[in-house]
Amino acid sequence: MHAAPMQSETKRVEELERMLHEAREHAHAEELDDAQELQRQLGKPIVYGQVIQLRHLLTEMWLSASSTDAAELDAMNLNVSLVADSSRRTLPDAGARARSA
């Protein structure tokens, strides 16, 4: 009676483990790509409009700029914070933000 639900649950666990393994492999490959790109770009000047990543050395956290939230002290500027992971949302660009009068 209970064999079918147990098999289904076992298959689901196996599928989740496979997905986790693939995600870890993908993350590792991305880390290697990031390290290679860092070495390639090291020493080159930053150009206007280029996407950049800024890392705080003491905390090893990443600077994150929100594209939707304004800064508390000046609503005409982006809200920035430090975050633990370097995801796409943490990538400010090296350009001026347009101000509306």
pLDDT digit string, tens, across residues 21-75: 999 999 899 888 888 988 888 899 988 877 777 888 898 888 887 777 777 888 8
Between CA 31 and CA 17 the distance in angstroms is: 21
Between CA 61 and CA 27 the distance in angstroms is: 18
Between CA 3 and CA 80 the distance in angstroms is: 53
pLDDT digit string, tens, across residues 74-87: 888 877 788 887 66
CB-count exposure of residue 90 (10 Å: 0-12, 13-18, 19+):
buried
- The pTM of the full predicted model, rounded to 2 decimals, is 0.50
User: For residue 100, what pLDDT is reported?
Assistant: 46
